[in-house]
């Protein structure tokens, strides 16, 4: 599956999320943010036919590190995965990576529903979904979309774990500077993490489609998503 990676100068961890389940290639891409996108990278995105960028980052991240366009005329859909403020949710804020993967499905339903609705429209494609490095928030969002398109948990997990290769985390944790200028440590993803998110969804809602229905996604929108993204 490493053939899914595409070299887009200035963008980390860019790859095609298709080719599993009924999700066709060339319509749904995933990556890190586009804030360091180069002019050459923009030309390559244009060659892919890019129409929509889905930005899962917080408003603060988007303000500090705005995506670069270099003349690209795509639509941007801002749908933060995490609540903007800790006070917005009556839940403990995640303290570590394991907590994050249980927190995200519990709080990101509206974000995920908005992504599904948008991707159900033919004019949205091709689309790239990204957060900061395309690992956690993007990992959950892409896993939900792949699940809707019939991908097995094994294939979803194999694609998800490619972020370790795409970010150089296959060699272990790596330091990085966050949007506040603070040095932090980026940790590799594991099969157990994405399994915990999907497990939370199924435990509380039964299925991924039922989870999305509980956040207002309609049968017509789910059918349109299938029609739009399927082989």
Whole-number pLDDT of residue 179: 83
DSSP 178: -
Cβ atoms within 10 Å of 28's Cβ, excluding its own:
24
pLDDT in tens, 153-190: 999 999 999 999 999 999 999 998 888 899 999 999 99
Is residue 140 within 8 Å of residue 105, measured between CB atoms?
A: yes
Whether the ω angle into residue 199 lies within 30 degrees of 0, i.e. cis, is: no
Q: How far is CA 192 from CA 92, 98, 151, 223, in A?
A: 21, 9, 17, 30
Whole-number pLDDT of residue 122: 92
Whole-number pLDDT of residue 68: 98
What is the pLDDT averaged over residues 105-114? 97
Write the CB contacts of 155 (distance below 8 Å, at least 6 apart in sequence): 20, 21, 146
For residues 12 and 22, give the distance between their C-alpha atoms in angstroms, rounded to a whole number: 26
Beta bridge partners of 75: 52
For 199, the token pair is 């497990």
172: left (phi over 0), alpha (psi -120 to 50) or beta: left
Q: Higher pLDDT residue, 7 or 184?
A: 7
Tell me: pLDDT of 110 over 90: yes
For residues 110 and 223, give the distance between their C-alpha atoms in angstroms, rounded to a whole number: 19
pLDDT in tens, 33-85: 999 999 999 999 999 999 999 999 999 999 999 999 999 999 999 999 999 88
Portion of the chain with pLDDT greater than 70, in percent = 100
Whole-number pLDDT of residue 85: 86
DSSP 94: P
Q: How far is CA 135 from CA 105, 120, 122, 169, 210, in A?
A: 15, 23, 26, 10, 25
The confidence band for 87, taking pLDDT boundaries of 50, 70 and 90, is confident
Whole-number pLDDT of residue 175: 92
Whole-number pLDDT of residue 133: 95
Tell me: pLDDT of 2 over 80: no
pLDDT in tens, 193-218: 999 999 999 999 999 999 999 999 99
| Mean pLDDT value across the chain | 96
Query: Position of tokens 């049968």?
Result: 219
Q: Is-above-0.85 flag for pTM?
A: yes
From the number of C-beta atoms within 10 Å of its C-beta (0-12, 13-18, 19+), residue 131 rates as buried
What is the pLDDT averaged over residues 6-30? 98
């Amino acid at each position: 599956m490493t053939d899914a990676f595409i070299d887009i100068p200035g963008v980390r961890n860019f790859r095609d999320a298709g080719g599993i389940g009924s999700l066709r290639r060339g319509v749904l891409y995933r990556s890190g943010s586009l804030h360091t996108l180069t002019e050459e990278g923009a030309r390559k995105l244009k060659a892919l036919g890019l129409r929509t960028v889905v930005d899962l980052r917080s408003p603060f991240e988007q303000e500090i590190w705005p995506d670069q366009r270099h003349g690209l005329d795509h639509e941007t859909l801002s749908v933060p995965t995490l609540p903007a403020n800790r006070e917005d949710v009556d839940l403990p804020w995640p303290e570590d990576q394991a907590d994050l993967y249980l927190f995200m499905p519990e709080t990101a339903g509206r974000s995920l529903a908005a992504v599904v609705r948008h991707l159900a429209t033919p004019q949205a494609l091709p689309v790239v979904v990204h957060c900061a490095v395309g690992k956690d928030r993007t990992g959950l969002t892409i896993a939900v979309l792949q699940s809707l398109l019939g991908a097995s948990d094994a294939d979803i997990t194999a694609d998800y774990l490619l972020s370790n290769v795409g970010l150089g985390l296959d060699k272990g944790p790596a330091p990085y500077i966050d949007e506040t200028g603070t040095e932090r440590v980026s940790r590799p993803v594991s099969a157990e993490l994405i399994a915990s998110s999907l497990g939370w969804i199924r435990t509380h809602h039964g299925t991924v489609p039922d989870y999305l229905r509980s956040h207002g996604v309609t049968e017509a929108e789910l059918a349109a998503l299938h029609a739009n993204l399927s082989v």
